[in-house]
Amino acid sequence: MNYKYIILVILSFLLFSCEKSYNYKSKKIELNFEKKYINSGFALIYNENLKGIKKLENRSLNIYHKSLKRKSTVKITNLKNNKYLIATVKSNKIKFSNFYNSILSLRIAEELELDVDEPYIEIVSVTKNSTFVAKKAKMYEEEREVAEKAPVDGIQINDLNIKKEKKISVTEKPFSYSIKVADFYYKDSAKLMVDKIENEAQIKNLTINRLSKTKYRVLIGPFNDIKSLKNSFEKMNYLNFENLEILSNV
């Protein structure tokens, strides 16, 4: 009997079994992986005077976003009062300034009591079967049905503005925001990024904040008015950063 041949067959079978098991586990990990989107910045509240923007129903819980998939579910938080709600991405094909992280319906702005001069929000993507969405889904579905059935013929924009003004509180803190470029493990990497931005985007007011021994954050700012903040933010578009954030200097 050829024992060498039998041993070779057994080894081949074992190797094949291990390979199948490894591939199975790899596929399982890949299928379960989900990248979570999170961004803090200024929103644009929809109104009919916005040129070139497809209509966004005032009563809807919908938003326009540039990178999230259509029908994605998101949690939107007013970072000034921590009020939040669940919304849906209606489209990611609407063109608007990169300075704004989304376009919100008027209803969302009112529900969150956003300051129309500083509509500062956080957007977080959430899975539809998550515990958070499950708890809120029924309530918002009922609200949506009521809103869709309510008559809209008699509603005037001025009336909506009056209602909105009742919810908006006066901002006591001065305007102060910075642009978060990125976090780095090494300080030298952060310095290289600062040099790149200064040379290519012609921006000078950069700082490096040490958050821990292995975390260095590159910031642009602070800015004391929205015009200069927007100007620097749009300059950064030339460097093609995917997820610039605006941080409040509290």
| Domain presence at residue 128 | yes
For residue 141, give its domain range: 38-167
Higher pLDDT, 234 or 12: 234
Out of 112-121, 140-149, 229-238, least confident range: 140-149
What would the mean pLDDT of 139-148 be, rounded to a whole number?
50
Widest distance between CA atoms in the chain: 96
120-126 and 38-45 strand pairing: antiparallel
Q: The CATH number of the domain where 57 resides is what?
A: 2.40.40.10
Domain final residue, candidates 144, 167, 190: 167
pLDDT digits (tens, 9 = 90+) for 34-85: 468 999 999 999 998 898 899 999 999 999 999 999 999 999 999 999 999 9
What would the mean pLDDT of 238-244 be, rounded to a whole number?
84
pLDDT at 151 > cutoff 80:
no
φ, ψ for residue 153, nearest 5 deg? -60, -35
Cβ atoms 185, 215 nearer than 8 A:
yes
108's tokens: 């969302």
pLDDT at 133 > cutoff 90:
no
For residues 39 and 108, what is the distance between their CA atoms, to the nearest angstrom? 17
**pTM exceeds 0.75, yes or no:** no
What would the mean pLDDT of 10-35 be, rounded to a whole number?
42
For residues 94 and 62, what is the distance between their CA atoms, to the nearest angstrom? 13
Count of structural domains within the chain = 2
Domain final residue, candidates 167, 193, 222: 167
Q: The CATH number of the domain where 197 resides is what?
A: 3.30.70.1070
Both 128 and 234 in one domain: the answer is no
Kindly report whether the peptide bond that precedes residue 222 is cis, defined as omega within 30 degrees of 0.
Answer: yes
pLDDT at 179: 95
For residues 213 and 236, what is the distance between their CA atoms, to the nearest angstrom? 27
195's tokens: 């040099």
pLDDT at 243 > cutoff 90:
no
pLDDT at 239: 85
Tracing tokens 């950063």 back to the chain, one arrives at 241
Domain final residue, candidates 167, 185, 204: 167
Both 43 and 94 in one domain: the answer is yes
Both 141 and 118 in one domain: the answer is yes
Both 215 and 154 in one domain: the answer is no
Cβ atoms 123, 84 nearer than 8 A:
no
245-248 and 38-45 strand pairing: unpaired
Both 82 and 45 in one domain: the answer is yes
Tracing tokens 């001065």 back to the chain, one arrives at 174
pLDDT at 223 > cutoff 50:
yes
Both 63 and 133 in one domain: the answer is yes
pLDDT at 161: 43
Both 45 and 116 in one domain: the answer is yes
What would the mean pLDDT of 159-176 be, rounded to a whole number?
55
Mean pLDDT in the chain?
78
pLDDT at 171: 55
For residues 73 and 87, what is the distance between their CA atoms, to the nearest angstrom? 6
| Domain presence at residue 26 | no
| Domain presence at residue 127 | yes
For residues 194 and 207, what is the distance between their CA atoms, to the nearest angstrom? 8
